[in-house]
Amino acid sequence: MGLLERIPHIPMSAPMGSVFGIPIRLHMMFLMVLGMQLMGAMYYGGQYVFLWFILLGPVLLLTVLVHELGHCLAARSVGGEVSGILLWPLGGMAFVGHTAGPKADMWVAVAGPLTHVPMLGVWLLLLLPAFHATAGSWAINLAMPYPSWGWAMWRAICVGAIWMNITLFAFNLLVPAYPLDGGRLLVDGLLAMGVEPRRTAIITVCVALPLAGGILAWGIIVFQMVTIMVAVFILWSVFQLIQAIRNDTLAQHPLFATSSGPEDTGPYFKFNSGGV
């Protein structure tokens, strides 16, 4: 059975076309969460509703899509298969599979966060005219201005997009909690050093659990719904890994699946948080 046929049915999702032959789907919960966030912004006025609609709508979707395409194209470059991308409230998932080994998988994992570097450069260039128009200077800073209409709104959008890319780059690479990219890199690094899969899985669990607990606590303290959802998703993914350890089924887990060809490889579920 080919990898394309093995993707589970994703309810409440709609097709959004394809890029480079890669099908893109949008989960309807993304729109639900966006609506709830905009309702919260109404307290601060119409300008903030418009600002967060742009940042958490089209800007976030485009940012996450480019990130996931980075994973997909990297997977293709190591001989893997790509079956699609899902955009959902917590960011994105790339469904890919390959058998090129842990060192090649490190490239697949890091390729997504690396896309934030050129995106950051583009937004910095777009910020320049808006900053000059509102501050009379080319020496930009990244303080969020009041989003009044006109150039100030464009400046606020650019600043928000810049911080979004910085946050996603750092969060995905520096937080070694599976299923974030940093967790994937932790696993690949241990496997590349010769650590056997079961011990690697146990280390992954021991690292991810306290990090997820910290993210959950922070989300509760600041009352940020998406942060709490990210923590819950990490805990759910770790629970699945614990079950694989207990049932001695690590060979079927996406982190450790091995086979003689891409069509037999478990899909690589890539996750990045887009709302933290």
In 3-state terms, what secondary structure has residue 19?
A: strand
Q: Residue 18 forms beta bridges with which residues?
A: 23
Amino acid identity, residue 270? K
Kindly tell me if the per-residue pLDDT of 275 is higher than 60.
no
Largest CA distance in the chain: 64
Identify the three-state secondary structure at position 165.
helix
**What would the two tokens of residue 94 be?**
């790339």
Closest by Cα among 188, 217, 273, 206 to 242: 206
Place of tokens 């293709």: 76
What confidence score (pLDDT) does residue 112 get?
95
Question: Which tens digit of pLDDT belongs to each residue from 1-26?
Answer: 233 334 456 778 888 899 999 999 99
The full length of the chain comes to 276
Distance CA 84, CA 97 (A): 11
Mean pLDDT of 68-76: 95
Contacts of 170 (CB under 8 A, 6+ apart): none
Amino acid at 215: I
CA 199 to chain centre: 26
- What is the pLDDT, as a whole number, of residue 259? 34
Is the model's pTM score more than 0.95? no
pLDDT, one tens digit per residue, over 115-144 is 999 999 999 999 999 999 999 999 999 999
Per DSSP, the three-state class of 73 is: helix
Is the pLDDT confidence value at 269 over 90? no
Please provide residue 76's backbone torsions phi and psi, each rounded to the nearest 5 degrees: -60, -35
pLDDT at 97 over 90: no
